[in-house]
Amino acid sequence: MSQDLILRLDGQGALHWSVIDRASGERRASGLFEAGEAVETPDIAGQTGGVDRTLVLLPSEDVFLSTIDLPARGEREARQAAPYMIEEALASSLLVTAVEPGARDEDGRRWVVAADRETLNGWIARIETLAVRPVHVLPDCVAAAQRDVALTLFDRGDSILWLYGAEARKPGEPAGGAMDPGLFGKVISPLVEGAGGGTVAVSTSLGLAGENFRQVPRGELDRMASALPAEFVAGMPALMGERFRTRFDWGGLLGPLKRPLALAAGLLVAFCALMAGEGVYYRLQAERFDAASVAEFRAAVPEVTRRVIPAEAERLLDARLAGLGGGEASPFLQLMAALAELTADNEAVRIDHVRYDQARSELSVSALYSDFADFDALGARADALGIVLNDGGARESGSAIEGEFTVRLR
């Protein structure tokens, strides 16, 4: 069973709803939400089980309706051009007006609808919880019109709806709308003249008759809207946005996920900030190490005064050390490692300076210690480590003892 949910907004802010069976035109259910009354979805949820589309009827007095002629334009270009093709006919600024063109027909023409943005947002908020996708939007004068006449005049009760037929419409000029019944007598003649002598369909309640006039029953807008051809409805502008045209409700799906997604986004931002901070920290550390390498190079090789980069400083230092003792396995490096091991954890012995004798493969060490017994303890540790330690003599100097000794590997 194919059913339509008809949502008709009126100029006083009320929302009329009904469920229409498309095949029979029978109204299955209906109701009304007054202006300012909260729209409660559960009130009609049980009536909309078989609904497969929604038609939203907008009050024609608050909508500008026209056609434009853009036979060679794509959809993107049509959206850009449409506002400027109706700008002169609009009663409001484009800055506060939403303008939307419809699909191009076989003659190259498109419907175009415009409405105040603030008013449009209010309509969207009013129908959003009720609408069953896809949602099609059209002014109520379109639903009221007869398809085979030059002009339709429809008595809505509170207003007179009018719409020109295809042959009488002029691109860029108003094609339909609504008027106050009190003004009807003053504007009826210009409207009929605009029909160019074609047939005028008029509600019987308006009391108009003439050679070109056809009397029609007043009718009911929700049933008349449901009876419109599907391709005609699909070609009307998506004034409320393309998101309502799709059957899949992304907003409804993502609604419960908003909080988890927000938390995930927060965690992602925090993680990115942490990674960025860590990157800055390591870059600063690298700069410190590079500066230390260059400073060490300057101290070890003062004769080089030109600017050197850290990598070059390290390479030159390695070359200098290799020259002292023959490369990575040089005796110098081994002796220095042995001396470091010999004096490790021995606070009583302080190394003053070291000289390397490459020919003899030994270190000449000057040290300070507090007692002659300190050297004896150093010799015992050297025997345990397999290091040859030769005493070079010692003398007292103030409160310390200055000693000389050599270090060799066995």
pLDDT at 165: 96
Give the predicted TM-score (pTM) of the model.
0.61
Length of the chain: 410
Phi, psi of 226 (to 5 degrees): -65, -30
Alpha helices by DSSP H, listed for 128-183, are 140-144
Ranges of the chain whose pLDDT falls below 50: 250, 253, 326-329
Comparing CA positions, the residue from 381, 389, 301 lying closest to residue 346 is 381
52 Cβ contact list (under 8 Å, min separation 6): 2, 3, 132
Whole-number pLDDT of residue 250: 47
Strand partners, 18: 6, 30
Residue 1 in 3-state DSSP? coil
CA 293 to chain centre: 46
Specify whether the CB–CB gap between 7 and 55 falls below 8 A: yes
DSSP sequence for 185-237? HHHHHHHHHHTTT--EEEEGGG----TTEEEE----HHHHHHTS-HHHHHTS-
77 is written with which tokens? 């270009």
Long-range (24+ apart) CB contacts under 8 A made by 42-48 are: 44/17, 44/19, 44/130, 47/19, 48/3, 48/5, 48/19, 48/132
- Tokens 């809505």 belong to residue: 156
Burial letters for 72-110: b for 16+ Cβ neighbours within 10 Å, e otherwise? ebeeeebeeebbebbeeeeeeeeeebbbbbbebeeeebb
Q: Contact 69/108 with Cβ under 8 angstroms?
A: yes
Residue 88, pLDDT score: 92
User: At a CB cut-off of 8 Å and minimum separation 6, what does 21 contact?
Assistant: 1, 2, 3, 27, 28
> How is residue 403 annotated by DSSP?
E
- Identify the pLDDT of residue 337: 83
Give Cα 147 to chain centroid, integer Å.
Answer: 44
DSSP string, 301-337: -TT--S---HHHHHHHHHHHHHHHHTSTT-HHHHHHH
* Helices and strands of the chain, counted as H and E runs: 12, 17
- Token pair listed for 191: 């409207």
